[in-house]
């Protein structure tokens, strides 16, 4: 069995930089302009509350905190934050005032453009936790109408709620009133993009965007969360500082865990211009496939030749996702793949603007592959969102269904990326509900988005040049954590969720380059995790995808155990068969057998 480990800090160990605050019945965490985990009597009612300034392509303009101050005014605790924004073709200054008293938490946001902004959204956003799925609430509109509302369990393809002025919330026997002022607010199910929340935001999407906030124009909004459940007879004792949780009893949990099959694992072809060398690629063992994306807008023969070199070095067959239109000459692409020596196994054809295989493209795909022996795949290439919104376009009897996943469409903090692993389980469950008989292929799974599906400028979507193609040119596609131990633990936790949800195949990151799992000195921690788990492909396993929350997992196989902790606090577990107790530091994994 595993040797006992202690929680010693590594130089690259991820740290939760959020400040913890408690005031009366309320607790919350703070980092920059984000307020997170707002809890009443220890129950989280708001996952995140933050201002958002988005540019014309829906990218978030990063805030620059200029000044922060705290003060007490009797029972009132006040934080004032001054922030500057440079982006969205302009600049702005803003003040965010947080007030906490015994009965409420209030946030007032005031922004003044200097000069004008060209933006798709400016204002406060409130993210309610995915744990509210199935909860009942009462919504009130700006004109005073009341609506009964239930948070959707399956991922809602469109906004589940419009015209929100207030919401009566009840979660885990704790009740509060959420009030919003300064604009007309609506809600979207952010699990579509693998975010772990229901987001309330303003400026309804039915209005045109981008729009201008003129120089000197002010945007003023306020959000207030008021306790409506009575205070406990005795103040509930809840922790707000770092805690050491009791060790998880793995033997007891694994005994009741379902038996599932480990998916087959592959990697994406390198999108940087220089593919990995044969010597580097030989370090990735046990893989099932290479996933190649080629667009009508690329130099397709060059992309296919580079992928063929990686396929030859690994001996892997290729799945080819072609991004095009109804005018795409798919037989010509298949001929080019054969000329390049790329050994194909599966092929998909995805619309370049709708980002999903439409009904017309499904017919084109079937006709092109009819006599080839290749398997057709109906796919989305951006997020589950497009598949969820357009699933009626897909044949009811589709055999293979594929879509990618990334945790950072909206937010980039490490703790958000960890919570998104839980949202991935919701997404996969919803995909299974939509198409119960389809075999699910997940990927590419990447830390950052490979395509900006909501960009208003086409040149940001599909590009190539001498340095690379596709994802290589997507702004922000490279994550600075790509080569860290945390990235390996995060990827292993994703694989555990996919296995538990019955996914047949996963494609993980890219082979090499800035989004790759191979570095100059061999596999990165993500590459090591892929090799470790690829060796279990096809085996019957017992999988626990959430030991102490999203990002923690145990995978028990015939010869041993893989224990994963992508969270930002240590994980302690008591091992089966008298193996003692193991403590995993944040962002780590360990294995036996």
pLDDT at 33: 94
pLDDT at 245: 64
CA gap 79, 454 in Å, rounded? 35
- Helix 300-314 to helix 330-340 angle (10° resolution) is 50
Cβ contact 192:382 at 8 Å? no
Tokens of residue 345, six digits = 């196994």
Instruction: Give the pLDDT band (50/70/90) at residue 453.
Output: confident
Instruction: Give the pLDDT band (50/70/90) at residue 2.
Output: very low
Could you tell me what percentage of the chain is helix, strand and coil, using 3-state DSSP and rounding each to the nearest 5? 20, 40, 40
Tell me the β-bridge partners of 351: 324
Angle at 307 between CA 303 and CA 310, to 5 degrees: 150
3-state per-residue secondary structure call for 349-361: EEECCCCECCHHH
Task: Express each pLDDT in 33-52 by its tens digit.
Answer: 999 999 999 999 999 999 99
Q: Which range in 221-225, 311-315, 434-438 is most confidently predicted, on average pLDDT?
A: 221-225
pLDDT at 282: 82
Instruction: Give the pLDDT band (50/70/90) at residue 276.
Output: low
Q: 303-307, long-range: CB within 8 Å, 24+ apart, which pairs? A: 303/464, 303/469, 304/336, 304/337, 304/340, 304/342, 305/340, 306/269, 306/270, 306/273, 306/275, 307/269, 307/275, 307/340, 307/342
Of 183 and 241, more confident: 183
* Average pLDDT of span 450-470: 79
Question: Which residues have a Cβ under 8 Å from the Cβ of 446 and sit 6 or more positions away?
Answer: 268, 404, 405, 406, 471, 477, 509, 510, 515
pLDDT at 452: 82
pLDDT at 327: 94
Q: Which range in 2-16, 96-110, 276-290 is most confidently predicted, on average pLDDT?
A: 96-110
Angle at 245 between CA 50 and CA 237, to 5 degrees: 65
* Average pLDDT of span 65-89: 94
Provide φ and ψ at 274, rounded to 5°.
Answer: -100, 110
DSSP-derived letter for residue 270 is P
pLDDT at 1: 33
DSSP-derived letter for residue 516 is B
Cβ contact 121:212 at 8 Å? no
Task: Express each pLDDT in 242-268 by its tens digit.
Answer: 555 678 889 889 888 889 999 999 999
pLDDT at 459: 56
Instruction: Tell me what percent of the residues of the chain surpass a pLDDT of 70.
Output: 94
CA gap 378, 387 in Å, rounded? 10
Instruction: Give the pLDDT band (50/70/90) at residue 3.
Output: very low
Ranking 105-119, 366-380, 399-413, 561-575 by mean pLDDT, the lowest is 399-413
Instruction: Give the pLDDT band (50/70/90) at residue 275.
Output: low
- Helix 525-534 to helix 485-500 angle (10° resolution) is 30
Please spell the DSSP secondary structure of 363-404, one letter per residue.
HHHHHHHTTT-PEEEEEBSS-HHHHHHHGGGS-TT-SEEEEE
Cβ contact 551:418 at 8 Å? yes
Task: Express each pLDDT in 227-246 by its tens digit.
Answer: 999 988 765 544 455 555 67
pLDDT at 9: 41
Cβ contact 555:261 at 8 Å? no
CA gap 487, 587 in Å, rounded? 7
pLDDT at 7: 35
Q: How far is CA 477 from the centre of its chain?
A: 13
* Average pLDDT of span 340-345: 97
Instruction: Indicate the helix (H) or strand (E) that contains 444.
Output: strand 439-445
Residue 270: pLDDT over 50? yes
Tokens of residue 170, six digits = 């009840």
24 three-class SS: coil
pLDDT at 280: 80
Place of tokens 């993210």: 127
pLDDT at 8: 39
Ranking 183-192, 248-257, 302-311 by mean pLDDT, the lowest is 248-257
């Amino acid at each position: 069995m595993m040797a006992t480990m202690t929680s010693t800090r590594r130089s690259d160990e991820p740290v939760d930089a959020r400040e913890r605050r408690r005031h009366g019945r309320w607790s919350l965490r703070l980092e920059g302009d984000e307020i997170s985990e707002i809890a009443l009597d220890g129950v989280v009612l708001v996952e995140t509350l933050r201002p958002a300034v988005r540019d014309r392509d829906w990218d978030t303009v990063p805030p620059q905190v200029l000044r922060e101050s705290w003060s007490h005014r009797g029972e009132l605790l006040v934080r004032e934050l001054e922030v500057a924004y440079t982006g969205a073709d302009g600049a702005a200054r803003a003040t965010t005032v947080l007030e906490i008293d015994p009965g409420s938490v209030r946030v007032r946001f005031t922004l003044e453009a200097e000069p004008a902004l060209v933006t798709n959204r400016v204002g406060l956003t409130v993210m309610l936790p995915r744990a509210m799925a199935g909860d009942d609430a009462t919504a009130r509109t700006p004109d005073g109408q009341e609506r009964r509302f239930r948070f959707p369990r399956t991922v809602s393809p469109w906004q589940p709620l419009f015209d929100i002025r207030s919401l009566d919330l009840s979660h885990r026997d704790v009740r509060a009133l959420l009030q919003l002022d300064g604009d007309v607010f609506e809600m979207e199910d952010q699990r579509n993009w693998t975010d772990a929340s229901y987001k309330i935001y303003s400026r309804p999407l039915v209005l045109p965007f981008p729009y201008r906030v003129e120089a000197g124009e002010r945007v003023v909004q306020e959000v207030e969360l008021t306790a409506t459940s009575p205070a406990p007879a005795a103040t509930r004792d809840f922790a707000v500082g770092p805690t050491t949780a009791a060790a998880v009893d793995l033997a007891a949990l694994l005994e009741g865990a379902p038996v599932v099959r480990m998916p087959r694992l592959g990697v994406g072809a390198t999108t940087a211009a220089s593919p990995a060398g044969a010597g580097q690629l030989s370090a990735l063992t046990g893989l099932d496939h290479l996933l190649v994306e080629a667009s009508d807008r690329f130099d397709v023969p060059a992309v296919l030749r580079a992928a063929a070199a990686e396929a030859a070095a690994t001996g892997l067959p290729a799945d080819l996702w072609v991004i095009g239109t109804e005018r795409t000459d798919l037989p010509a692409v298949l001929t080019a793949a054969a000329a390049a020596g790329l050994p194909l196994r599966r092929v998909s054809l995805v619309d370049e603007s709708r980002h999903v295989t439409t009904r017309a493209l499904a017919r084109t795909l079937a006709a092109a592959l009819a006599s080839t022996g290749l398997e057709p795949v109906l796919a989305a290439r951006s997020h589950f969102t497009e598949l969820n919104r357009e699933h009626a376009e897909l044949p009811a009897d589709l055999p293979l269904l594929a879509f990618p996943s990334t945790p950072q469409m909206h937010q980039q903090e490490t703790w958000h990326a960890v919570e998104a692993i839980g949202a991935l389980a919701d997404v996969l469950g919803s995909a299974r509900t939509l198409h119960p008989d389809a075999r699910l292929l997940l990927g590419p799974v990447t830390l950052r988005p490979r395509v900006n599906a909501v960009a208003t400028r086409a040149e940001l979507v599909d590009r190539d040049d001498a340095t690379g193609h596709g994802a290589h040119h997507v702004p922000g596609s490279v994550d600075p954590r790509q080569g860290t131990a945390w990235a390996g633990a995060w990827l292993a936790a994703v694989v555990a969720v996919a296995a538990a949800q019955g996914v047949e195949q996963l494609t993980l990151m890219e082979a090499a380059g800035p989004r790759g799992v191979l570095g100059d000195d061999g596999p990165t921690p993500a590459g090591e995790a892929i090799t470790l788990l690829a060796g279990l492909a096809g085996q019957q396993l017992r999988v626990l995808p959430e030991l102490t929350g999203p990002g923690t997992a145990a995978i028990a196989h015939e010869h041993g155990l893989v224990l994963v902790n992508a969270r930002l606090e240590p994980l302690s577990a008591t091992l089966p068969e008298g193996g003692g107790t193991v403590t995993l530091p944040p962002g780590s994994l360990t294995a036996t057998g």
